[in-house]
Structures are given as C-alpha cells and as structure tokens.
A and B are shown apart, each in its own frame.
Chain A
C-alpha cells in the first residue's frame, strides 16, 4: 500500500485489490456502516453486511460483542479462523474500524480494511448489488479477549492521575470544548460537555484524505507526533462511544506500528456521565 509501512500491507487493501479478489473463497468481504441501511442500497458484490447496533455489541449489557456471540457471527458469516476478512464501510471506514478492533480483541489473524471504504468504491463507479449472498456457515473459535488493546475506566483515571499515557480525544473540536454534547444532529448522550483532563484533540477524520483513503505514514506521524503521541509512549484514544477512536487506534497501532495503543470504548458517554469525574474545558 501507499503508506509504505510493513504493517500497512497486512491490513489495508485497495478497491482494485478487492475487485480482483471478488469470488475468492478464502476471502470474506463485509460492509459495516454507520448508516445501517446503506448496505441495502447496494454493496460490493458478494459482501455481507453487519449491523453495528445489534451484531457488534452486547445488546443487554453495555459492552462489546461477547465471545460466544462473536463466534456465532463469524460462523454464520462463513468466516473460519483462517479466512481473510476485508472490512469496509461508510464515513471513511468509521465503523469498519470498530469491527476491525473487535476482531482483533478476539484474535482474528487476517483482517484488513478496504482503503477509502464505501465512498471510494461508489465514487469509482464500481459494481454494486442489492442481493444478500447465501453463505455456507463455517466453524469459528475465538481467542480469549485481548485486553491489551482495550482501556477501561480505572486505567484511564490512573493515566490521568499519573500522566502515564497520552490521551487522544478524537471527537470534533466543538465536542472537545463542550460547546456541543454530541455530533451535530445526533442525540445528546452525556450530562457534561468537555474532555478528559490533559487530553489532546485530534479529530479522527484528520487521518484521511478527501477520498476516504488514509494519509501517508509521514503525514500521520506528523499529525499525531505534534500532539506528543509517539511510538515510545502509551496512547489511549477515546471519542463518544468508542467507534471513532477505534479508527484512530487502527491508524496508530496498525498503520504506524505503535506498540502500546488502547481504545477506551467507554469514552465520553462514560466519562461525561460519571458522578465526580473531572472535566476540562475548553
């Protein structure tokens, strides 16, 4: 890939690559959108669609998808432990990255993102189909959850107190300052606006070009390095519910190869509702 990093070649594929591999039985292409109806409008031929609101979470407890449910999702999607999974979606692969992060939590070896996502595929005038493919189920066994890439509240509180990690708030600047409590047009989901004390604001989408593809490794290093997020530091990314920050986590962990990056998926819906939690403004 154009990023020119060793890790990037393992996790990013181009729209051309996907086109060339349509029908390859060892590869499963899956669309994950913010807009859960987008898949039905037309999708990459042969691809499946996952609904992040029902299939990539625990629908009873606030949590990521439980291991058993994850295994069921993979199995019914025809994904075995050795399947290459290519994820793509709308909004610069926002929720594709959320799915990617969860697949890595459960140890899937070969998962990749289609660079540019749905936007690039559509903009290039490529084929779309509306039929949902018939998939032969597979058998899938997940690994125990890898919590080295997930941060929970106590760890974040400790990082704030000890200044032991670089906190990156990847929400928009107006969410960061507390001018608004959620992205414009979306329901407010917190009691207080602002950000976690000491966090730096680097909106997630700054990692992407206009066509949805990721910026070059040099550009990304410059972007995050300017805020003090370098490879030698522990980094924790957060947003509102953990999905935008999974995009930034993907960039830092897999495109830049930072060893210690975590996604705090509790994010602002946890911190901004927590009784007694310190909030910094602007």
Chain B
C-alpha cells in the first residue's frame, strides 16, 4: 500500500498553533496533530473519512492542550 492524499496544515487550537497531518492508507484515514513549537505529538486518530479522522484527533488534542497550565513569568 502507498500513503495517499497527504495533507498538512497549520491552525489554532485551544490557544496553541498546531499541525494537522492526514493521509489515507488503504481504506482508513490517519490524522496526527502536533504542536508547531516544539513539535510534540498531541493526538492521533483514524477513521473511514478524512473528516472523521481529523474531527476525532481535534477532539482529543483539544482535551490535552486544554490541560496545559501557563505560569506568569517573573523577571
């Protein structure tokens, strides 16, 4: 099998910039979400359509990213 229809786009989610990478392998679509900086993978999902895979991955990523605490940086 060959990976097909690879796409990669940047968007905002829960206040963070993320990469959304999606491709099809066989009859399944795979989506991986990682933060733009520093590039950590946050969520991964698969589904029968591109929309399904991306929706599930975004839901997971939103939960994880929403838990990230931000601290005030003292000089």
**A interface residues (Cβ-Cβ under 8 A, vs B):** 34-35, 37-38, 41-42, 90-92, 94, 119, 121-123, 125-130, 171-175, 177-186, 188, 193, 203-205, 244, 281-282
Which residues from A are CB-within-8-Å of B68? 180, 182, 184-185
Pair B44/A184 contact, Cβ less than 8 Å = no
Pair A171/B2 contact, Cβ less than 8 Å = no
**B interface residues (Cβ-Cβ under 8 A, vs A):** 1-4, 6, 8, 16, 21, 23, 25, 30, 32, 34-35, 37-44, 46, 61, 64-65, 67-75
Could you tell me the distance in whole angstroms from the C-beta of A95 to the nearest C-beta in chain B? 10
> How far does the alpha carbon of A186 sit from the alpha carbon of B67 in the complex, in Å?
9
Which residues from A are CB-within-8-Å of B67? 185
Which residues from A are CB-within-8-Å of B72? 179
Which residues from B are CB-within-8-Å of A41? 25, 30, 46
Could you tell me the distance in whole angstroms from the C-beta of B44 to the nearest C-beta in chain A? 6
> How far does the alpha carbon of A128 sit from the alpha carbon of B6 in the complex, in Å?
13
Query: Of all chain A residues, which has the CB nearest B30?
Result: A41
Q: A128-B25, A179-B70, A184-B68 are in contact. Are A38 and B37 (CB under 8 A)?
A: no
Name 30 interchain pairs, CB-CB below 8 A, sorted by A: A35-B32, A38-B32, A38-B44, A41-B30, A42-B3, A42-B25, A91-B34, A91-B39, A92-B39, A121-B3, A123-B3, A125-B3, A125-B4, A128-B25, A172-B37, A174-B70, A177-B73, A180-B70, A181-B69, A182-B68, A183-B35, A183-B38, A183-B40, A184-B40, A185-B42, A185-B65, A185-B67, A188-B69, A204-B38, A282-B75
Which residues from B are CB-within-8-Å of A125? 2-4, 6
Query: Of all chain A residues, which has the CB nearest B68?
Result: A184
> How far does the alpha carbon of A174 sit from the alpha carbon of B23 in the complex, in Å?
30
Which residues from A are CB-within-8-Å of B65? 184-185
Pair B21/A119 contact, Cβ less than 8 Å = yes
Chain A at the B interface: SS class: loop
Which residues from B are CB-within-8-Å of A185? 16, 35, 40, 42-43, 61, 64-65, 67-68
> How far does the alpha carbon of A51 sit from the alpha carbon of B39 in the complex, in Å?
19
Given contacts A172-B37, A178-B73, A244-B38, 20 further A-B contacts (CB under 8 A): A38-B44, A41-B25, A41-B46, A42-B25, A119-B8, A121-B3, A125-B2, A126-B2, A129-B1, A173-B37, A174-B37, A179-B73, A180-B71, A183-B35, A183-B38, A184-B16, A185-B43, A185-B68, A205-B37, A281-B73
